[in-house]
Amino acid sequence: MAGPEFFQTVMGRAFYEGTVPALVKELKKLNVNLEKLIEVSVYGSPKGTEIETCGKCGAPLANKGLCKCEDQAHTAPETQGQEP
Ligand SMILES: [Zn+2]
């Protein structure tokens, strides 16, 4: 074959020095995210973290400290009958 090899062309250089490293980086990110996704699906939360639950109703909290019950009329068992 006449002419330069692919790695000797401008496109080839951009491919080997730009596209391939970027591809590897994205693959690594994808793997990290997959591992997190598996941890959540198996353990319910990422390793080393505990699922926070609502102090009032005991429901698992998706967002820290926020529970749907907070904006509803909520009767916690320990306060029943104690209010005037
Ligand atoms: Zn709650």
Calculate ∠ Cα 63-67-72, nearest 5°. Answer: 155
Residue 74, domain member (yes or no): no
In a domain, residue 82? The reply is: no
Domain that holds residue 58: 9-65
Mind listing the pLDDT tens digit of every residue in the chain (84 residues)? 689 999 999 999 999 999 999 999 999 999 999 998 888 887 776 666 667 778 778 777 766 667 777 665 544 455 555 555
Q: Is residue 16 a part of any domain in this protein?
A: yes
Is position 59 within any domain?
A: yes
CA of residue 47 to ligand 1 center, whole Å: 24
**From ligand 1's centre to the CA of 50, what distance in Å?**
17
With 0.85 as the threshold, say if the pTM is over it.
no
Question: What is the whole-number distance in angstroms between the Cα of residue 43 and the centre of ligand 1?
Answer: 22
In a domain, 1, yes or no: no
DSSP sequence for 25-82: HHHHHHHHHHHHHHHHHHHSS-TT-PPPB-TTT-PBPSBTTB-GGGGS----GGGTTT
CA of 9 to the centre of ligand 1 (A): 63
User: How many domains in the chain?
Assistant: 1
Rounded to the nearest 10 degrees, how much is the dihedral formed by the CA atoms of 64, 70, 75, 78? Answer: 40
- 41 occurs within a structural domain: yes
**Structure-token pair, residue 66:** 């926020």
In a domain, 77, yes or no: no
